[in-house]
Structure 1
Amino acid sequence: MAPVDLQSLAEAVVDAARRAGAQEADVLAQSGHSVSIDVRSGVLEQADRDEGRQIGLRVLIGGRQASVSSTDHSPDAIRAMAERAVAMAREAPEDDTVGLAHPDQLARGRDAAGLQIADQGADPLPDRLQDTALRAEAAARDTPGISQVETANAGFSRQFFWLAASNGFSGGYERTTHAVSAVAITGEGLGMERDYAGESRAWAEDLPEPEEIGRLAAERALARAGSRKPPTGAFPILYDRRVAGSLIGHLLSAVNGSAVARGASWLRKDLGQPVLPEGFDLVEDPLRPRYPSSRPFDAEGLPTRSRRIVENGVLQGWTLDLATARKLGMDSTASAARGMASAPSPMTSNVILTPGTATQDDLIADMGRGLIVTSMLGASINGTTGDYSRGAAGFWVENGQIAHPVNECTIAGNLRDMLLTLVAAGDALPWRGTEVPSLLVRGMTVAGA
């Protein structure tokens, strides 16, 4: 469905909601298509194609709201959806903080001009995607020591979005995603180890060659051969750049307005206080050209902008949509995001942490003895206290050098203490929604052998 058709559809649903009795309404309409190709052992294993459109309607009556979604955009279905949403809203609990933006708050730019988040080239054909996946698989499989390639994938999607609301906002944009990945395995039986590599970009020309992805997956898998449990004790831990973003993600969760407004954030009393070491900035920039989560306006029609969440280590503000901003007596940071059948909630877009000047090897040498974490699984995070525990795997360091790979261990600490001891390398990878370098945490507990 072309953007002009999405606009007409979204605006028609808003009108239907008003006729059904909604005082305010907004609609997110989405259409597009995606193709995903998986190969294994040199042949096609699975091909998926998804195409369709969705409508997400939110209606507001006083301080009550309800959200519904549908894939049927016929006039009768739209009318029934609007009536159902209004009936649900009348039974919903009252919340005086919900409501649309004032017209003066709305973004003037109603498209993504200049952001370059949609590849203007022709969509790749399935045959081309299959060839890309086969090239990634072959590069991994042909690496000495690799016993098999579990899967290799190439995919593409093109999506159109349109947001319309009864406050007069109507705008939309297009987004594309190209992706390639591979999972390689070394060893057999109980000695089997696997690892992966994958990249995605808005533009095909920015994507690495598939052979690079396949070889990297193979190298990572081979490095894991002979893994064993590390010792138990208190050690420095180096979060590799592959996983360091998750550590900053816990900080972002703690400054999210939803958690703060509920009193469920371990940082709820720390506005204006140090949360990172001196010299660290944490910047959100939703307007970075070609980046994965760039967007010209948020899910409530407010103009996005660059802002400092943390400056020189000090927490500057929360991540807020309109409702959480009203709860806290502040202004929205234009951070609203929403699903088709849900109300808006705060979310960051393109976060960058200040890099350091050291290399990862410098930090490994500085560790002396400790753990490098390259992958994690499971999580036990107490959002109120910041207590942290996760399963981990990676490499053990002795005398400032990597000694051997490790697995089946748990790392634990408290996020407040961990974040205040960070030392950053200068190796952050570009094109990520969270651009974070390798991070050394001075002291945590490792539970291993």
Structure 2
Amino acid sequence: MKERILAEKKELEKIAEMAVDFARKEGADESVIVLNKSTGLDVSCRHGELENIDFNKSRSLSVSVLKNQQRGQARTADLSEDAIRETVRAALSIAGTTMPDPSAGLPDKDEFATEAVDFDLLHPEEPDPDACIREAVRLEGLAMSRDPRITDSRGASVSNHYGMSVMLNSAGFMCSEANSYFTKGVSVMADDSTGRQSGGSGTSAVDSRLLYSDERMAREAVTEAIESINPRRIPTGSYPVIFRYDAAPEIISPAIGAIFGMNQYYKNWFLQDCRGSQVFPEWLTMSSDPHVKGHISAQYCDGEGVATRKCDLFKNGVAVDYLHSCVSARKMGEKTNGHAGGALGIMTLKDERGRKNSFKDLLSYMDRGLVVVSTMGQGINIMNGDLSFGVTGFWVENGLIQYPVSGITIAGNLKSMYLGIRGVADDADERLRLRTGSVLIDRMTVAGE
């Protein structure tokens, strides 16, 4: 099967070469061709019965051309020669209607990745509907039978996908990759005096053998639901707040958005001109690694073909550099650093003080306050950093979790929250691209009763 997929990818490479050649003949100064093809099976079950099954095959070709510094783009799902020619002509026609952009264009030739790297992302399996249905039913059954307080199911799902992508530009640079992708998930519910509480768990990997076990996912889903039973309200006040590992990315990711080159250029982010400035405490470092073997986010080149690299985004709390594509770099009079598409790979927040804090350690440091496990609503103003969320979580007294809470709102400002981080635990979830442990913030406004 793997050989068949690689042969299909070779065919896409030939199509890309044909498209680039035709764009050149039609008068394009530069062109980029991107081809994607994927095949997948998605199955969901509820109450032990098949709820949905979706077998899908998709393919697409994107043509981006530049002529007289004017950019045009067009897409098609038809990979016949005639359809590709029409798509190239459409892109050139669109380019003729756009404003010239001196910043547009391909990277310099010495900026392209010089060597392709195999990150071991292709472990395909023939999609088997009957096997996927059995897996989903078994996973749901394990979760439903684990605790008598679990009263209903929101279902279980299993997915099996594989695909390939090819990027070729008129400078002769080609990035050609293939990968597989598997997922599983389950969600259950428990009744209480306020209604119903839900809990879920999921796992994904490029190799099905690396998926979490059904037993682990069932345990996680049931634990989350049971721990949320009979939530209470808490008094309005100002308290220390811990964002648990699964909620922490919600408040940390805006800092990454702030260092995108285009956001800095357009001056539309709350951390404006932050390069070289103290954003986090001096003991915190955040790094980006796009070269993690076996992880779906691994890539040796960015969306423009520029070589990627491991790097620090924030070093000792200071913003190291902006994440540039060719366009954002040229607009700001700088050089691209391989970040077309933003921060790439796995991002990790680390405590550099040489000590490890567990989640229980953070509870002890906090003594009395709120643990946030989920947020509701789009509560961040990216222009000024103001934050206001509805949240669920747990109330803590004497360093111990006392009871679940809901129906409350927290408010603060990300600038002061970042500098007010007092600790980061070592409980980061390896399933997330942004890997940060639970984060303790010294004080936030909490609206409750």
SS at match of 1:318: coil
Q: For residues 186 and 237 of structure 2, what CA distance do their matches in structure 1 show?
A: 35
**8 Å Cα contact 2:192/2:230 also seen in 1:** no
Any idea what SS the aligned residue of 1:187 has?
strand
For the 8 Å contact 2:37–2:60, the answer to whether it is kept is: yes
Identify the residue that residue 131 of structure 2 maps to in structure 1. Answer: 128
Superposition RMSD in Å:
1.6
Task: Supply the distance in 2 between the matched residues of 1:325 and 1:349 (Cα, whole angstroms).
Answer: 20
2:143 pairs with 1:140: yes
Q: Which runs of 5+ in 1 are unaligned?
A: 338-345
Instruction: State which of 194, 208, 211 in structure 2 corresponds to 1:207.
Output: 211
* Matching residue within 283, 291, 295 for 1:291: 295
Which of 94, 98, 115 is matched with 2:100 structurally? Answer: 94
Counterpart of 1:259 in structure 2 is 263
> Number of residue pairs matched?
438
Following superposition, the deviation at residue 235 of structure 1 comes to 1.0
Residues 1:182 and 2:186 aligned together: yes
**Which consecutive unaligned segments of at least 5 residues does structure 2 have?**
none
**Contact 1:7-1:171 within 8 A present in 2 as well:** no
2:250 equivalent to 1:246: yes
Quote how far apart the aligned CAs of 1:286 are: 0.3
Which amino acid is 1:200 matched to?
A: S
Q: What TM-score results when the alignment is normalised by the length of structure 2?
A: 0.94
Paired amino acid for 1:148: D
- Contact kept, 8 Å, 1:292 with 1:431, in 2: the verdict is no
2:447 corresponds to 1:441: no
| Alignment match, 1:357 | 356
Once the two structures are TM-superposed, the CA of residue 18 in structure 1 deviates from its matched residue by 2.2
* Distance in 1 (alpha carbons) for counterparts of 2:127 and 2:192: 36
CA–CA separation in structure 2 for the residues paired with 1:188 and 1:94 = 62
1:213-264 Cα distance to aligned partner (Å, 9 max, x none)? 1221011011111013332221111111112122221111111112111011
Q: Name the amino acid aligned to 2:400.
A: Q
| 1:78, distance to aligned residue in structure 2 (A) | 0.8
Q: Within 5 Å, which residues of 2 pair with 1:3-402? A: 3-110=9-116, 112-113=117-118, 115-119=119-123, 122-144=125-147, 145-187=149-191, 190-337=194-341, 346-355=342-351, 357-402=356-401
**Contact kept? 2:348, 2:435, Cα under 8 Å:** yes
Aligned to 2:377, the other structure's residue is in SS state strand
Query: In structure 1, what is the Cα distance between the partners aligned to 2:71 and 2:47?
Result: 52
TM normalised by structure 1 equals 0.94
Cα contact 2:288–2:343 (8 A) shared by 1: no
Letter matched to residue 137 of structure 1:
E
- Which string of whole-angstrom CA distances, capped at 9 and with x for unpartnered residues, describes residues 93-121 of structure 1? 222111111222111123x41x11222x5
Mapped to 2, the partners of 1:151 and 1:107 lie a distance apart of 44
Q: Secondary structure at the match of 1:212?
A: helix
* Distance of 2:440 and 2:193 partners within structure 1: 34
Q: SS at 2:56's partner residue? A: strand
Residue 157 of structure 1 contacts residue 176 of structure 1 at CA under 8 Å; is this kept in 2?
Answer: yes
The 5 Å alignment of 1:393-412 reads: 393-412=392-411
Name the SS for the 1:379 alignment partner. coil
Q: Does 1:426 align with 2:426?
A: yes
Give a deviation string over 1:321-362, Cα, whole Å, max 9, x none. 11011112222121113xxxxxxxx34321111146111111
Secondary structure at the aligned position of 1:28 is classed as strand
What do the CA deviations read for 1:31-78 (whole angstroms, capped 9, x no partner)? Answer: 121111101111211111111211111111232212221101111111
Identity of aligned residues (%): 29
